[in-house]
Amino acid sequence: MPISLEHIQKVMDEAEVLFTEKEIEGAIDRVAEQINQQLADSNPVVFCVMNGGLIFSGKLLMKLTFPLEQSYLHASRYRNETSGGELFWKAKPEISLMDREVLIVDDILDEGHTLSAIVDFCKRSGASQVYTAVLMDKQHDRKARPGLKADFFGLYCADRYIFGYGMDYKGYWRNAAGIYAVKGM
């Protein structure tokens, strides 16, 4: 069934603000500072995980102050739905990862299946070290493995369905300049 724009607008009108733009920008500054300290001499390839990682990657990259290469990959398991399924690779990395340090940048670590599969792929492709950075870490006990964490993360969020700053609700509101929770989810 096609999604009605009335529904999409209603979701925004009724959503709860979890984090303001100012709070999120502060978190991105902190993540950038940590990465600048730890990866400055590593000549990494920084991969944006499309689509959700687009805004965080863009904002983060401009705050990284050392030489790096940038690329993208696209693996999706939600496909505009609000619960995850099988991971589907839409675009694998084109740049060689052999003996490279890699930083994967995504919007959210939810159950972590996406990030784990991407990290495994990079290691199998010869990366010497794989780091991960996410804007949001969702708090619950359904992680792909207990204790799964990103190396760098911005903010913890509650176990709600969230959107904004790259994260979508049914394909919409990635452009929202704040992080919102859908009413009742």
Ligand X SMILES: O=P(O)(O)OC[C@H]1O[C@H](OP(=O)(O)OP(=O)(O)O)[C@H](O)[C@@H]1O
Give the residues lining the site for ligand X (CB under 6 A).
49, 51-52, 76-78, 84, 106-115, 168
Residue 113 binds which one of ligand X, ligand HPA, none, with CB within 5 to 8 A depending on kind?
ligand X
Q: How far is the CB of 66 from ligand HPA (least distance, A)?
A: 30
Q: What pairing do the DSSP bridges indicate for beta strands 152-157 and 101-109?
A: unpaired
Contact flag: residue 78 with ligand HPA (CB under 6 A):
yes
Name the segment binding ligand HPA (CB under 6 A); options: 14-22, 33-41, 88-96, 161-169: 161-169
Residue 19, interface with ligand HPA (CB under 6 A)?
Answer: no
Q: Would you count residue 105 as binding ligand HPA (CB under 6 A)?
A: no
3-class DSSP state of 32: helix
Does position 162 interact with ligand HPA (CB under 6 A)? The reply is yes
Question: In sequence order, what are the residues at sequence separation of 6 or more whose Cβ sits closer than 8 angstroms to the Cβ of residue 46?
Answer: 57, 61, 64, 68, 69, 70, 71, 102, 103, 105
Binding flag, residue 11, ligand HPA (CB under 6 A): no
Query: Are 167 and 24 in contact, with CB atoms under 8 Å apart?
Result: no
Kindly tell me the number of DSSP H helices and DSSP E strands found in the chain: 4, 9
CB nearer to ligand X: give 101 or 110.
110
- Amino acid symbol at 40: A
